């Protein structure tokens, strides 16, 4: 079998590259995935009750990039959707990220009004302030508020999610948690937001529908690369796996989802409720609020963070800290040596948390780089060890 390209992984990174190479450069592409479906972690499916569920956790498409939105919109229409999340704190459901509405729900009104005035005066209305910065506040009341938010919203959620103390985590995680001086309850403020109208899997079917693309599922990269000739390889799987873990395993945090069908038309009146301080699970997802599906009953999922165990569960979140950056740098250096023969991209190959739009953007950029690079002749496909 001869192809111009083998792409390992049929998530957003792999599927967008396959589509571009097939439709814009008339390349013959084989895309393989070890799972039994396309779509990577964005995959959705109808469960036995006819409810459309997100198998690997809730996925909301949001971006500020018009280019990315218009690109993806060629393959789907959208259900307009603005994501909001509430957290269960001291017996109340309050908006997160913590904002002025959360303040008003949790504190007596005269105190909430005073704190609101101070927050606006100090930071300005509509501003997002990292919680770690607020903890350095000089004003005793604002400092106390920051401590409260840190304790109730952030600290134990972080411990549950990562099984680490907040101080052990990279500032890219801790610094991301904002206090929003606003009444805007939306989780994302991006210009473009939505859920694919007929689901993510149909979006991927449309992305991969080009006649130059062949799909092979339930196929490990290692099983196919030695037997199939291709000019080039794109690898969107775990970079440490590609190099057979020779510099050690890159740690991930994993999740397990306990899906339950409930005989109620509306279980929690919203798509996501976070539980920072109660229960072992971090959140409950209710899928029909994402999709707008009108079906009897409702499927929900309890989301439990877990350690990642190779071969047992899925690697979900890279654990960003200095030690892991050093391991990744060793693999990245080896990957660079293969430049022009094997390209690495995607959340697992870059060992980086990407939103879907960032994965699409990464793939579009790589496509531009590839097409500007030299023509590579047909050669033996590199083996998994490079
Ligand atoms: C719980 C959760 C919720 C999320 N929610 C959102 C959200 O709301 N909005 C948002 O924008 N983003 C969200 N994301 C991020 C989103 O899932 C990623 O941006 C997206 O999955 C990245 O696509 P990818 O192609 O790089 O990786 P993936 O989707 O992981 O695709 C990689 C594919 O490669 C395959 N593969 C790996 N190794 C091999 C191998 N050796 N051989 C064959 N196949 C292989 C895998 O099976 C997988 O299908 C969320 C992520 C998580 C974990």
Q: Which pLDDT tens digit goes with each residue over 94-147?
A: 999 999 999 999 999 999 999 999 999 999 999 999 888 899 999 999 999 999
- For residue 259, pLDDT beyond 90: yes
Which position has the token pair 């293969």? 338
Evaluate: CB of 145 within 6 angstroms of ligand 1: no
Given this model, what pLDDT does residue 374 score? 52
pLDDT of residue 24: 96
Q: Is residue 200 in contact with ligand 1, taking CB distance under 6 Å?
A: no
The per-residue pLDDT of the chain, averaged, comes to 93
Ligand 1 atom nearest the C-alpha of 13 is 25
The pLDDT > 90 percentage for the chain reads 83
pLDDT at 376: 42
Asked if the model's pLDDT at residue 229 lies above 80, the reply is no
DSSP string, 149-171: HIIIIIIHHHHHHHSS-GGGS-H
Helix or strand (DSSP H, E) at 203:
helix 200-207
Average pLDDT for 237-259: 97
DSSP 8-class letter at 40 = G
Which pair of tokens denotes residue 314? 């899925």
Distance between Cα 61 and ligand 1 center (Å) = 13
List pLDDT tens digits, range 39-73: 999 999 999 999 999 999 999 999 999 999 999 99
**pLDDT (mean) for 312-320:** 93
Q: Which of 64, 306, 319, 356 to mutate to test the pocket of ligand 1 (most atoms within 8 A of CB)?
A: 356
Distance 346 CA to ligand 1 centre (A): 8
Q: Is the CB of 19 under 6 A from ligand 1?
A: no
Work out which ligand 1 atom sits closest to the CA atom of 354: 19
Cα 190 to middle of ligand 1, angstroms: 21
| Shortest-distance Cα residue to atom 5 of ligand 1 | 59
Ligand 1 atom closest to the Cα of residue 238 is: 38
> CB of 317 within 8 A of CB of 294?
no
- Please give the average per-residue pLDDT across 323-347, as a whole number: 93
CA 214 to chain centre: 26
Cα-Cα-Cα-Cα dihedral of 235, 240, 241, 245, to 10°?
A: 150
- Say yes or no to pLDDT of 385 above 50: no
| Confidence at 373, pLDDT banded by 50, 70, 90 | confident
Is 57 close to ligand 1, i.e. is its CB under 6 Å away? yes
**For residue 152, how far is its CA from the centre of ligand 1 (angstroms)?**
30
Mean pLDDT of 235-239: 98
Q: Is 226 helix (H, G, I), strand (E, B) or coil?
A: coil
Identify any residues that bridge with 89 across adjacent strands, giving them in sequence order. Answer: 92
Mutate to test the pocket of ligand 1, among 78, 236, 344 (most ligand atoms within 8 A of CB): 236
> Cα–Cα distances in Å, from 299 out to 50, 83, 137, 290?
9, 18, 43, 12
- Band of residue 294 on the pLDDT scale cut at 50, 70, 90: very high
Cα 312–chain centre separation: 20
Q: Cβ(193) to ligand 1 under 6 A?
A: no
Does ligand 1 come within 6 angstroms of the Cβ of 14? Answer: yes
Q: What percent of the chain has pLDDT over 70?
A: 96
Average pLDDT score over residue span 233-243: 97
Atom of ligand 1 nearest to the CA of 362: 26
**Alpha-carbon distances of 238 from 1, 204, 229, 247, 350, rounded to whole Å:** 25, 21, 22, 13, 8
Residue nearest to atom 39 of ligand 1 (CA): 237
pLDDT of residue 375: 56
Distance from the CA of 347 to the center of ligand 1, in angstroms?
7
pLDDT at 175: 67
Q: Is pLDDT above 80 for 157?
A: yes
Task: Write down the pLDDT at residue 100.
Answer: 98
Residue-level pLDDT at 324:
94
Q: Name the residue with higher pLDDT: 341 or 84.
A: 84
225 falls in which pLDDT band (50, 70, 90)? confident
In this predicted structure, the answer to whether residue 380 has a pLDDT above a threshold of 70 is no
Protein residue closest via CA to atom 12 of ligand 1 = 355
Residue range 167-184: average pLDDT? 82
Task: State whether the beta carbon of 359 lies less than 6 angstroms from ligand 1.
Answer: yes
Question: Quick check: 381 pLDDT over 50?
Answer: no
113/108 Cα distance (integer angstroms): 9
Question: Among 62, 102, 54, which Cα is nearest to 360's?
Answer: 62
The one-character DSSP state at 212 is T
Distance CA 123, CA 146 (A): 13
Q: Are 124 and 216 in contact (CB under 8 A)?
A: no
- pTM of this structure: 0.94
Q: How confident is the model at residue 339 (pLDDT cuts 50, 70, 90)?
A: confident
Mean pLDDT of 335-361: 94
């Amino acid at each position: 079998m001869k192809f111009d390209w083998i792409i390992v992984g049929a998530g957003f990174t792999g599927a967008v590259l396959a589509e571009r190479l097939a439709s814009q450069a008339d390349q013959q592409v084989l895309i393989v995935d070890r799972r039994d479906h396309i779509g990577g972690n964005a995959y959705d499916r109808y469960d036995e009750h006819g409810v459309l569920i997100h198998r690997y956790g809730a996925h909301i498409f949001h971006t500020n990039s018009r280019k990315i939105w218009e690109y993806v919109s060629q393959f789907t229409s959208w259900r307009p959707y603005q994501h909001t999340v509430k957290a269960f704190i001291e017996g109340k459901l309050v908006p997160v990220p913590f904002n002025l509405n959360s303040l008003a729900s949790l504190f007596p009104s005269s105190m909430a009004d005073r704190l609101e005035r101070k927050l606006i005066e100090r930071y300005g209305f509509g501003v997002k302030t990292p919680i770690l910065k607020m903890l350095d506040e000089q004003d005793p009341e604002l400092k106390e508020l920051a401590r409260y938010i840190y304790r109730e919203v952030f600290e134990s959620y972080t411990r549950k999610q990562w099984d680490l103390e907040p101080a052990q985590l990279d500032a890219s995680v801790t610094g991301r948690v904002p206090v929003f001086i606003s009444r805007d309850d939306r989780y994302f403020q991006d210009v473009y937001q939505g859920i694919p109208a007929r689901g993510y899997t149909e979006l991927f079917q449309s992305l991969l529908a080009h006649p130059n693309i062949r799909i092979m599922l339930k196929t490990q990269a290692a099983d196919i690369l030695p037997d199939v000739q291709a000019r080039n390889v794109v690898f969107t799987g775990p970079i440490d796996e590609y190099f057979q873990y020779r510099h050690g395993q890159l740690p991930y945090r994993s999740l397990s989802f306990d899906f339950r069908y409930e005989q109620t038309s509306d279980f929690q009146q919203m798509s996501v409720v976070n539980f920072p301080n109660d229960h072992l699970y971090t959140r409950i997802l209710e899928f029909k609020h994402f999709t707008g599906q009108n079906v009897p009953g409702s499927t929900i999922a309890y989301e439990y963070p877990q350690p990642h165990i190779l071969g047992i569960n899925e690697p979900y979140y890279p654990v960003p800290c200095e030690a892991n950056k050093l391991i990744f740098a060793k693999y990245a250096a080896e990957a660079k040596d293969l430049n022009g023969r094997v390209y690495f991209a995607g959340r697992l190959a870059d060992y980086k948390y990407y939103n879907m739009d960032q994965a699409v953007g990464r793939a579009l950029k790589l496509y531009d780089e590839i097409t500007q690079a030299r023509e590579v002749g047909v050669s033996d496909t590199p083996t998994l060890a490079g």
